[in-house]
């Protein structure tokens, strides 16, 4: 039966099952057949195959690298953490004895964008410090993290000297700052060019996205951050209490 004559639900499920078998039979770190070969083998168009592959990419079991190919991923450890307590990903990795490294660490001292002016309540001529870095685990990039702070909190030189994988950890060590709350938004997003390049994934690959604002006990917002995480290496959960309706 041709692709166009099959019922969409039947084709989709059949394709998913066959791809799942191919992926499960492939050794971690090994490359899958090229898209044209795989599409021909499955009897579907490349567009249909690519859409089905995106499901497995979202689950974190495959990793597509632009111009190189698609690789099977089976992380030996997953960074799993609850969202009730604010702590750095670096701290969570240390707790589970997962060896992570830092690459492409960068600090920029620059003027804020209009969005950052509003979020951080800074004036157009007050500079901010932007810290960006890539976390690597098991020999590959797994997260891209960016923090932006008003420059009256800490100098670029102090960030470079103290940074070991987390701006949050630097702030928690400060005795003159009392942190209380963080407001976070979590979404699944399609990777844009710069993020895709940093994480070694294809443009528009699905990533977990966190956007957070960190507040002091005095109510000042001192850190605006956004982070991209590779599915499959991270699992976030929320512990919720059962409340009584009023």
Q: What's the CATH fold of domain 3-72?
A: Arc Repressor Mutant, subunit A (1.10.10)
Q: Give the per-residue pLDDT at 74.
A: 66
pLDDT of 1-33, one tens digit each?
444 554 545 677 888 889 988 988 888 888 999
CATH architecture, range 79-237: 3-Layer(aba) Sandwich (3.40)
Which residues are bridge partners to 34 per DSSP?
none
CA distance 244 to 74: 41
User: For residue 221, what are its two tokens?
Assistant: 């917002």
Among 101, 87, 156, residue whose Cα is nearest residue 128: 156
Q: Give the per-residue pLDDT at 246.
A: 53
Neighbours of 121 (CB within 10 A): 11
User: For residue 146, what are its two tokens?
Assistant: 């960016």
pLDDT of 89-145, one tens digit each?
888 888 878 788 888 899 999 999 999 999 999 999 999 999 999 999 877 888 999
The pTM (predicted TM-score) of the whole model is: 0.76
Q: Where in the chain is the domain with CATH 1.10.10.10?
A: 3-72
CB 88 within 8 A of CB 166: yes
CA distance 108 to 125: 15
Tell me: pLDDT of 155 over 80: yes
pLDDT of 196-217, one tens digit each?
889 887 778 888 999 999 999 9
Q: Describe the strand order of the beta sheet including 140-150 as a list of residue ranges.
A: 100-110, 128-137, 140-150, 221-229, 206-216, 179-190
Among 216, 199, 215, 218, residue whose Cα is nearest residue 207: 199
Q: Give the per-residue pLDDT at 1.
A: 45
The mean of the pLDDT values for the chain is 86
Q: Where in the chain is the domain with CATH 3.40.1410.10?
A: 79-237
């Amino acid at each position: 039966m041709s692709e166009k004559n099959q019922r969409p639900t039947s084709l989709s499920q059949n394709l998913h099952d066959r791809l799942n078998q191919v992926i499960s039979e492939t050794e971690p770190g090994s490359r899958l057949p090229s898209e044209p070969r795989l599409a021909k083998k499955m009897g579907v168009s490349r567009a249909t195959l690519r859409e089905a592959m995106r499901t497995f990419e979202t689950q974190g079991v495959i990793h597509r690298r632009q111009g190189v190919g698609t690789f099977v991923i089976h992380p030996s450890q997953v960074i799993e953490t609850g969202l009730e307590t604010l702590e750095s990903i670096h701290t969570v990795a240390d707790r589970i004895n997962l060896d992570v490294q830092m690459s492409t660490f960068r600090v920029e001292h620059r003027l804020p964008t209009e969005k950052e002016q509003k979020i951080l309540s800074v004036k157009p001529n007050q500079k901010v410090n932007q810290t960006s870095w890539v976390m690597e685990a098991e020999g590959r990039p797994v997260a891209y993290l960016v923090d932006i702070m008003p420059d009256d909190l800490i100098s670029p030189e102090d960030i470079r000297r103290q940074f070991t994988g987390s701006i949050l950890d630097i702030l928690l060590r400060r005795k003159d700052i009392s942190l209380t709350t963080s407001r976070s938004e979590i979404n699944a997003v399609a990777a844009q060019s710069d993020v895709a390049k940093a994480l070694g994934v294809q443009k528009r690959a699905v990533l977990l996205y966190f956007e957070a604002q960190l507040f002091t006990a005095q109510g000042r917002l001192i850190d605006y951050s956004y982070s991209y995480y590779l599915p499959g290496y991270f699992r976030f959960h929320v512990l919720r209490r059962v409340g009584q309706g009023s």
